[in-house]
Amino acid sequence: MLMQPVAGAEKCRSQPRRIAIVTDAWLPQVNGVVRTLTSTCNLLRTQGHEVMVVSPDRFASMPCPTYPEIRLAVTRPGAVARLLRDFRPDAIHIATEGPLGMAARGYCRRRGIRFTTAFHTQFPDYLARRTHLPARWFWRYIEWFHKPARRVLVATESVSEELRGHGLDRLHRWSRGVDLASFSPRAAPPAEYADLPRPIQLYVGRVAVEKNIEAFLAADYPGSKVVVGDGPSLASLRARFPDAHFAGRKSGAELAGYYAGADVFVFPSRTDTFGLVMIEALACGTPVAAFPVAGPRDIVTEATGALSENLERAIDAALYCDRDQCAAYGATFSWEAATGQFLDGLAEAEPAAA
């Protein structure tokens, strides 16, 4: 079951290991997957582990169709295999289902090497929205990709239930964390907030079709709507919603101030597997309003926000939440704990077949 301890977990944590992480999502992309992986890698190295990241910045790349901000690696045959072979990792984790993930999966399968994967993103739903094709077509690929993995690392129980429905049952919990040194109620709000009518309703994240931001911007609730982030839908949303305030991309202490100074954080996505921005908002003392779907259902409590199919009702109810309780709850999500879960879930790479 999902929360059962993995055999050898304490050994995995205590002894330095050589860990290869293969990902098609990496810097300079800015999204929850990249932030999760970079935070995890930083902590692993601090703990003495040697980490090699196989990512698109090592190769030539091309823009992803319908999503040009994402670069897809173009590799020579055997390039990923050589990197993994030369590194001689104790564990191989394949974080994404793109070209690099495919190459690493093929290498492990050919050599009889155990590996783990992660289900970070609802690609079937994303691709269905972008291509207007049935999501079930893309689920077939997801099922095939993850089936041989020793474990599939998953952020929430709701997503675990969904994966079990697709025949994937070797699951392991890998939650997320918050940089509590940056994200706290003490963060200074931006100067522009002083002139905005209250309540200030905030969205943070990629400005893209799958994030369902138009549902937030169209919500009929008084006050001000603020969008922090960048992405392919920015120009069209600016044109359609001229009364909204688009602040662009923010990070660190500046981003924390946008969270801390807002009255409510609105998370309109129906397709995220977790929603890292929600726990960042909570750590800053800001309650969350969202739809009752996977991600929000696993994170938002009655004391820290509100869920409703009517987003206006969710916003209204969330405004009555105690901000101190929100901050205390947000502070329980640490990267140290999440990285421990990651280590516990890794599989020992078996010797290559002769």
Q: Are residues 119 and 45 in the same domain?
A: yes
* Burial category of 313 from C-beta neighbours within 10 Å (exposed 0-12, middle 13-18, buried 19 and up): middle
Kindly state whether residue 264 falls inside one of the protein's structural domains: yes
Query: What pTM, to 2 d.p., does this model score?
Result: 0.87
Q: Give the Å distances, CA to CA, from 203 to 82, 218, 224, 247.
A: 42, 13, 11, 10
19 bridge partner residues: 51, 91
Residue 2 pLDDT: 35
Same domain, 125 and 205: no
Residues 149 and 292 in one domain: no
User: Based on the domain organization, do 219 and 262 belong to the same domain?
Assistant: yes
Question: Do 328 and 341 have their domain in common?
Answer: no
The total of other beta-carbon atoms located within 10 Å of residue 312's CB is 13
CA gap 147, 168 in Å, rounded: 6
Please name which of 70, 66, 215 lies closest in space to residue 130, comparing C-alpha atoms. Answer: 66
Sheet with 91-94: strands ordered across: 50-54, 18-22, 91-94, 116-118, 151-154, 171-173
* Distance from C-alpha of 189 to C-alpha of 118, rounded to nearest angstrom: 35
Which tens digit of pLDDT belongs to each residue from 116-154? Answer: 999 987 766 766 676 777 778 889 999 999 999 999 999
354 found inside a domain: no
CB 326 within 8 A of CB 285: yes
Please report whether residue 20 resides in a domain: yes
Alpha helices per DSSP H over 73-224: 79-87, 99-111, 123-131, 135-146, 157-165, 213-217
Instruction: Judge whether 94 lies within some domain.
Output: yes
- 253-291 as b/e, with b when 16 or more CB fall inside 10 Å? eebbbbbbbbbbbbbbbbbbbbbbbbbbbbbbbbbbbbb
Domain co-membership, 234 together with 169: no
Same domain for 248 and 300?
yes
Please indicate, yes or no, if residue 185 is contained in any of the structural domains: no
pLDDT tens for each residue of 2-36:
333 343 444 455 588 999 999 999 988 888 899 99
Residue 8 has a pLDDT of 42
Instruction: Report yes or no: 210 and 129 within 8 Å, Cβ to Cβ.
Output: yes
With CA atoms as reference, report the closest residue to 172 among 159, 181, 185, 190.
159
**168 and 30 share one domain:** yes
Residue 2 within a domain: no
Domain co-membership, 341 together with 312: no
Give pLDDT < 70 ranges for the chain.
1-14, 65-70, 123-124, 126-128, 130, 351-354
CA–CA separation, 348 and 130 (whole Å): 38
> What domain count does the chain have?
2
| Structure confidence at residue 11 (pLDDT) | 46
296 within a domain of the structure (yes/no): yes
Determine the Cα–Cα distance for residues 330 and 325; give it in Å rounded to an integer.
9
1 assigned to some structural domain: no
Based on the domain organization, do 226 and 287 belong to the same domain? yes
**Structural domain range at position 273:** 191-332
Q: Are residues 165 and 205 in the same domain?
A: no
Task: For residues 168 and 214, state if they share a domain.
Answer: no
Residue found by looking up tokens 């990923």 in the block: 80
Q: Which two tokens stand for residue 22?
A: 């293969």
Q: What is the CATH number of the domain that holds 160?
A: 3.40.50.2000
